[in-house]
Amino acid sequence: MCYSPQNWGGKNTKYFKSIVFFNNALISTTSIARIQTYNVTLIHQYSMENFVVSARKYRPVTFDSVVGQKSITNTLKNAIKTEHLAQAFLFCGSRGVGKTTCARILAKTINCFNRTENIEACNECDSCTSFNEGASLNIHELDAASNNSVDDIRNLIDQVRFAPQIGSHKVYIVDEVHMLSTAAFNAFLKTLEEPPAHAIFILATTEKHKIIPTILSRCQIFDFSRIEVEDIAMHLASIAEKEGIKAEEEALHVVAQKADGALRDALSIFDQLVSFSGNNLTYEATIQNLNILDYDYYFKATSSLLKGDIPAILVLLNEIIHNGFDGHLFINGLASHLRNLLVCLDPQTINLLEVGKSIKPKYKEQSQNCTVGFIIKALEICRTCDTEYRASKNKRLLVELSLMQVASIMNSSIAEGEKKNA
């Protein structure tokens, strides 16, 4: 809960948004005007001198280097090997999980003259070189978000007729295909049904439910999964190593959690952090920059809540608010923390604990003091607080009351136990 991008909140948010915008759109005077001059100079220097966005620099170029989509890449490799490649694919999944990357790798690999035994592109032949230079005529990308008219599709269909000059296949990638107008969809159907032998269509979408059934039935569908926190953290670690950046494992885990399953987001957060803290990325600096509360607060809070120590939890909340975090962020973070404790309680769910190695024993230890009953009641109270927060006139009191309720769970269950024993 606390790691979803919607809850970024806090004093650093604006700051980061402006920077993301800065990287994507290069220089926009209006956006720069909103950033303090000091920041602009800092980023400006960095981006001009040695800044290559990690997401672009480290975009995987082989099937094996795609992060967290093993089953899909294996299926594609097998299809190439056995020459049973479909002519129309639909790649579904949320943003930043590798759809376009896989589409590009597929295009490069099937056109390679010298594929390795492991069904990867050789990276040396004429076709591979032209792909690497972005000069290959065998790959066409259409962004349906901005080119969604019938004419755009007609242009595409016109090109499809021509066989490739070098290589065997022309690959057409249509990104955000759900944005095509109905008329464009209809114009596309015929070609999709009977494409020439040299054409392969890869349609990518974040919203599968918006694709009409006639398209779905003509495509081989691949569902890309959200990338695991552990996989993202490991990938970031390998990039850090290549870039000569010393990064603490905990810091990378926090970044991975914040990215919520999207590798591209993780990489851009990573870039921003590096541009702020230089070549030494500590957990401390990371949580400060991302406006995340330290794990320690949640461990402390939970231990007070378990003891039923109401004064201690109120003092802790005061400290957190004093440090510039809002109560909503804390309640949601506490809920995630409790959820983590819950999954520690059973060997079957322990793998659902997505935190760094060094912090895992701490979770296991604290979970020993909790009961499932306590955690469920506490989560319920947090959830109610979360939903009522926006409408509340006295937000701080709402959070305090919720915490007092959680702190009373153990007291009341002890009291009940005493009553039974009496």
Footprint of Zn ion (CB under 5 A): 112, 114, 121-122, 125, 128
Considering beta carbons, is residue 124 or 365 the nearer one to Zn ion? 124
Minimum distance from CB of 328 to Zn ion (Å)?
A: 53
CA distance 114 to 119: 10
If the CB atoms of residues 123 and 413 are measured against Zn ion, the closer one turns out to be: 123
Q: Which is nearer to Zn ion, 114 or 118 (CB)?
A: 114
CB atoms within 10 A of CB 217: 9
With respect to Zn ion, which residue has the nearer C-beta, 126 or 354? 126
Measured in whole angstroms, the distance separating CA 79 from the mean position of its chain's CA atoms is 28
Q: For 313, phi and psi rounded to 5 degrees? A: -70, -35
Compute φ and ψ for 172, nearest 5 degrees: -110, 115
In whole angstroms, the minimum distance from the beta carbon of 172 to Zn ion comes to 20
Q: Minimum distance between the CB of residue 201 and Zn ion, rounded to whole angstroms? A: 22
The strand ranges marked E within 211-276 are: 220-223, 246-247
* Residue 125 or 237 with smaller CB distance to Zn ion: 125
Which lies closer to Zn ion via its Cβ, residue 136 or residue 206? 136
Based on CB atoms, which residue is closest to Zn ion, 105 or 263?
105
Residue 49 tokens read as 């001198």
CB 343, min distance to Zn ion, A: 45
- CB-based burial label for 23 (10 Å; 0-12, 13-18, 19+): middle
Angle at 352 between CA 351 and CA 353, to 5 degrees: 90
Structure tokens at 382: 């947090």
Contacts of 421 (CB under 8 A, 6+ apart): none
As measured in angstroms, the least distance from the Cβ of 108 to Zn ion is 8
Question: Cβ of residue 340: shortest distance to Zn ion, in angstroms?
Answer: 46
Shortest Å, Cβ 269 to Zn ion: 34
* Ordered DSSP codes for 316-379: HHHHHHHTT--HHHHHHHHHHHHHHHHHHTSTTTGGG--S-GGGHHHHHHHHTT--HHHHHHHH
Q: Amino acid identity of 21?
A: F
